[in-house]
Amino acid sequence: MKSVAIVFRHAPFGATSGREGLDLAMLSASFEQQVSLIFTDEAVLHLIGGQTPEQAGAKDYLSALKALPLYDIDTVLVCSDSMQLLGLKASELNIEAEVVSADVITKTLQAVDEVFVF
């Protein structure tokens, strides 16, 4: 079993990268890879509640985030610097996720076998 970290760094909807990253995450997890997700920069916006992707002309891929525990993806890290920069609070996150300092993300990137950035 390999450990994989998938980093999301782009805002939702503007690019398809978020959806592609999530597809890779769920695909890897269904092949029993140990998957961690890391949200940084404007990608942290994927995690806040009350979004209506269809209104922005995007497919609703955010609903799939709620299924992460079923895929045994239990490590979801959110960059606290990015949260702070955007004025977001941990209580606004729509799914189970840990808001962590950059240091924790650095350690995670070092520890895993592979890192993919979306």
Partner 1 sequence: MVNSFEFNGQQIEVDHQGYLKNVADWQESMAPVIAATENIELTEQHWEVIRFVRNFYLEYKTSPAIRVLVKAIGQSLGADKGNSKYLYTLFPVGPAKQATKIAGLPKPAKCL
Partner 2 sequence: MILHHIQTSVTTDNALATCLRFIHPSDSIILAGDAVNCLLQMLWQQRLASVNVFILQDDVHARGLQQHIETIATRMSPELFHIIDYSSFVEQSLKHNKVITW
The footprint of partner 2 (CB under 8 A) covers: 7, 9, 40-41, 79, 81, 102, 105-106, 109-110, 113-115, 117
Q: Residue count at the site for partner 1 (CB under 8 A)?
A: 14
SS (H, E, C) 83-115: HHHCCCCHHHECCCCEEECHHHHHHHHHHCCEE
Among the listed residues 19, 28, 34, 113, the one whose alpha carbon sits nearest the alpha carbon of residue 75:
34
Interface with partner 1 (CB under 8 A), residue from 15, 27, 86, 102? 27
Q: Give me the least distance between CB of 1 and partner 2, in Å please.
A: 17
In this complex, which beta carbon is closest to partner 1, that of residue 66 or of residue 107? 66
Environment class of 64 (CB within 10 Å of its CB; exposed 0-12, middle 13-18, buried 19+): middle
89 makes contact with partner 1 (CB under 8 A): no
Considering Cα of 100, then 64, then 20, then 15, what sign does the dihedral take?
A: negative
> Which of partner 1, partner 2, none does residue 105 bind (CB under 5 to 8 Å by kind)?
partner 2
Q: Which residues bind partner 1 (CB under 8 A)?
A: 23, 26-27, 30, 32, 59-61, 63-64, 66-67, 70-71
